[in-house]
């Protein structure tokens, strides 16, 4: 076999049409072998003798796409000094573009970590672990272009590749649960009809099910356990796993783009699947443990701000390079449109504290590729000072956990909620205005993958996670939920009607709030997980979306609950999404001023707040302990921001009436904000009024609203 010197950059395995260049970083290694794996289980070892800046490299002519490979690192195994080299371990390439196989959880993978260093070199992990794969980088993108949807037009839809598509009755069986399913017209048609502009995919980087779950017969379903930051997860591929998954993912992105839908990836750069000091050696730990991970004061152990066993070392230039190279790769080569960063506060920890100006954010800010896509932070981690909602740099948007909590509290009747609700409804200026950001910095959500589904939020007071095998001790215990009078499934018509109304309340509030709304997959159909608020390990109909049209042949739907998809709720969600899309007053790019705007046709403020009696809200009204009702006036003639061509934007004006109290209320329509109003939405009703069938309400009239009901009224221009 010919072995040429090759190049130290780019890292990973890079095929050029004639051969492949291999490059891997390890400062700890004394010697690194590239191992080419063959179908009969044998391997050919090639020592990487060339080294530049601790990057070992070689070029191998004739090595083609589909070739499986790994690295063996010879060096010190001295955990007491933070070094864990072990040549018995076949290691994944941190820059692998594709991964083949899965971890076989037996002693060959992790046995030597249990304090028996004499045995560590007797174990050969090649048959028991995953292997890296050389890929063909060429793909016909045609005229593919990113939709580049502005944030004020964006509607996010968080989804799981398998969970969204596994039970769709119109999909061929071999496509369900795969990247190819995302490209199917039946799935794309639902998203476009719903009005979704961006699909936010739960982790698709190659991840691992840890041995604790495997021993219990469970899996890491959510995927927040990454081991390959460049490789699409191979289990979601329908065509094969020796590079075919890359082509399949690109095909899905291209199809979604053709429909005008952006693809945003939920990425986990805060930790890896190698876990704590008892975890497996799969890649980074065996290559250079101290360069990749934050080690504790005793370097045998890891500093953990993620709750997963380890945290990546964000002050290491090699970790920063890895992350930035990964982000650029997914944008330039895979054509994704943005990222949601899991536990993003950990990315800000250069030392111990969370630092807004850490190196990672500096690198993102100046990067000509990454800085131009959507960047969404989950602005917290489990470390000290880790809750950082509102504190990320101006380039970033954030999952607004305070929005979620406040909206839940309002509709379940929590006292002293009204004042904060007003802030959340109008874009959370208290969080984002001081640093120059706008309402669109707030990613608003009521539910997401982590916690109750929308239906379960109104059906359970307590979590029911017994199936996870942790004695119901896992998951959040303070859910801000309300079961509407009975825990779990019920056949009481009154309770069921209230639950449906509460779901409509949450959806209407979300879609008509300033900021960027995010829906959770299946919430439009009333998906249930039977009270499991931490279904990270449940890969079954319990977590899969049930679609209209019945279950696919052979599918067991019992776990998903007795009721089928709620198509009336889906239609309500669709109507609210399109109401938002049609009216810029609900998706302002600037905060309200609370005063009249220049050039308007009237003297009315851009926003006004009223009590149910039609009187302007006073400071005392906002602070009343039991207050849970108000009227909000949105002046469509006072948006005061230019359109895309510089024209002045105007819109219809709206009244939003909120009765989150447990009693019926008569709302007096403000007397001086319009002579007549058209009733569009009343969440006490199952459906939205169609055009031509909408009641009108005159100024100063009383509009009765039942308990826990929201209404939307429009005054045409």
Positions marked catalytic: 342, 378
Tell me if residue 98 falls in helix, strand or coil.
strand
Strand partners, 206: 228
Contact 2, 18 (CB under 8 A): no
The Cα–Cα gap between 261 and 511 comes to 18
The DSSP-derived string for 447-510 is --SSS--HHHHTT-SS---GGGSSTT-SS-S------TTSSS----HHHHHHHHHHHHHHHHHH
Beta strands in 294-432 (DSSP E): 338-341, 374-377, 397-399
Beta strands in 48-125 (DSSP E): 50-52, 55-61, 68-74, 77-78, 83-84, 98-100
Nearest to 463 by CA among 475, 454, 455, 471: 475
Dihedral, CA of residue 294, residue 295, residue 297 and residue 303, to nearest 10 = 60
The Cα–Cα gap between 249 and 212 comes to 30
The Cα–Cα gap between 49 and 31 comes to 8
- Token duo for residue 82: 């933070």
The Cα–Cα gap between 261 and 147 comes to 7
Tell me if residue 12 falls in helix, strand or coil.
strand
The Cα–Cα gap between 162 and 142 comes to 27
The Cα–Cα gap between 244 and 174 comes to 15
Chain-centroid distance, C-alpha 571? 24
Q: According to DSSP H, which parts of 558-651 are helical?
A: 567-582, 619-623
Strand partners, 353: none
Contact 210, 218 (CB under 8 A): no
Tell me if residue 681 falls in helix, strand or coil.
strand
- Token duo for residue 327: 């982000």
| Crossing angle for the helix pair 418-425 and 401-412, to the nearest 10 degrees | 130
| 54: Cα within 13 Å, side-chain hemisphere | 12
The Cα–Cα gap between 379 and 383 comes to 12
Chain-centroid distance, C-alpha 296? 30
Contact 309, 226 (CB under 8 A): no
């Amino acid at each position: 076999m010919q072995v040429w010197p090759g190049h130290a950059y780019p890292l990973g395995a890079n095929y050029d049409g004639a051969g492949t260049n291999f490059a891997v970083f390890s400062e700890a290694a004394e010697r690194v072998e590239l191992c080419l794996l063959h179908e009969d289980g044998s391997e050919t070892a090639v020592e990487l003798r060339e080294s530049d800046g601790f990057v070992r490299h070689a070029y191998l002519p004739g090595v083609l796409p589909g070739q499986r490979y790994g690295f063996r690192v010879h060096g010190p195994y001295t955990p007491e000094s933070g070094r864990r080299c072990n040549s018995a371990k076949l290691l994944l390439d941190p820059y692998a573009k594709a991964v083949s196989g899965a971890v076989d959880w037996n002693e060959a993978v992790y046995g030597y970590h249990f304090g028996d260093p004499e045995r560590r070199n007797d174990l050969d992990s090649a048959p028991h672990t995953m292997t890296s794969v050389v890929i063909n980088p060429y793909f016909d993108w045609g005229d593919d272009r990113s939709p580049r949807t502005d944030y004020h037009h964006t509607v996010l839809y968080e989804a799981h590749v398998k969970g969204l598509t596994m039970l769709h009755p119109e999909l061929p069986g071999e496509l369900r649960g795969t990247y190819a399913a995302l490209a199917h017209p039946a799935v794309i048609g639902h998203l476009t009809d719903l009005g979704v502009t961006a699909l936010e995919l739960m982790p698709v980087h190659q991840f691992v099910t840890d041995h604790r779950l495997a021993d219990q017969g469970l899996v890491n379903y959510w995927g927040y356990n990454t081991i390959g930051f460049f490789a699409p997860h191979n289990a979601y591929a329908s065509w094969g796993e020796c590079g075919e998954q890359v082509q399949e993912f690109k095909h899905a992105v291209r199809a979604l783009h053709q429909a005008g839908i952006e693809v945003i990836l939920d990425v986990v750069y805060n930790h890896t699947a190698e876990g704590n000091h008892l975890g497996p050696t799969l890649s980074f730990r065996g290559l250079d443990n101290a360069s990749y991970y934050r080690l504790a004061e005793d370097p045998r152990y890891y500093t953990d701000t993620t709750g997963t066993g380890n945290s990546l070392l964000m002050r290491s230039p090699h970790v920063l390079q890895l992350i930035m190279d990964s982000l650029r790769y997914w944008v330039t080569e895979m054509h994704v449109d943005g990222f949601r960063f899991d536990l993003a506060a950990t990315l800000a920890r250069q030392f111990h504290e969370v630092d807004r100006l850490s190196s990672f954010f500096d690198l993102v800010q100046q990067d000509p590729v990454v800085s131009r896509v959507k960047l969404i932070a989950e602005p917290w981690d489990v470390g000290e000072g880790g809750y950082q909602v509102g504190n990320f740099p101006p380039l970033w948007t954030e999952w607004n956990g305070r929005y979620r909590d406040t909206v839940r509290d309002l509709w379940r009747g929590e006292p002293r909620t009204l004042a904060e609700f007003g802030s959340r409804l109008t874009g959370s200026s208290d969080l984002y205005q001081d640093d120059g950001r706008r309402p669109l910095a707030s990613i608003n959500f009521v539910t997401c993958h982590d916690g109750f589904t929308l239906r379960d939020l109104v059906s359970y007071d307590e979590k029911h996670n017994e199936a996870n095998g942790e004695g119901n001790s896992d998951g959040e215990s303070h859910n801000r939920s309300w079961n509407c009078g009975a825990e779990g499934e019920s056949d009481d018509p009154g309770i069921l009607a209230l639950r449906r109304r509460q779901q409509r309340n949450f959806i209407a509030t979300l879609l008509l709030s300033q900021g960027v709304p995010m829906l959770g997959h299946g919430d439009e159909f009333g998906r249930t997980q039977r009270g499991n608020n931490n279904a990270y390990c449940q890969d079954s109909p319990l977590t899969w979306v049930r679609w209209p049209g019945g279950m696919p042949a052979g599918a067991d739907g019992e776990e998903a609950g007795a009721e089928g998809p709620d198509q009336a709720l889906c239609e309500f969600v669709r109507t609210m999404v399109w109401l938002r899309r049609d009216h810029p007053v609900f998706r302002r790019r600037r905060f309200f001023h609370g005063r009249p705007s220049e050039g308007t046709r009237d003297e009315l403020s851009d926003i006004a707040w009223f009590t149910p009696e039609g009187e302007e809200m006073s400071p005392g009204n906002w602070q009343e302990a039991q207050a849970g009702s108000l009227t909000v006036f949105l002046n469509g003639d006072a948006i005061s921001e230019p359109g895309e061509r510089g024209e002045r934007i105007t819109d219809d004006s709206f009244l939003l009436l909120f009765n989150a109290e447990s009693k019926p209320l008569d709302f007096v329509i403000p007397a001086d904000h319009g002579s007549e109003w058209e009733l569009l939405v009343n969440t006490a009703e199952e459906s939205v009024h169609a055009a031509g069938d909408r009641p009108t309400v005159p100024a100063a009239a009383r509009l009765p609203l039942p308990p826990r009901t929201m209404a939307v009224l429009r005054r045409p221009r």
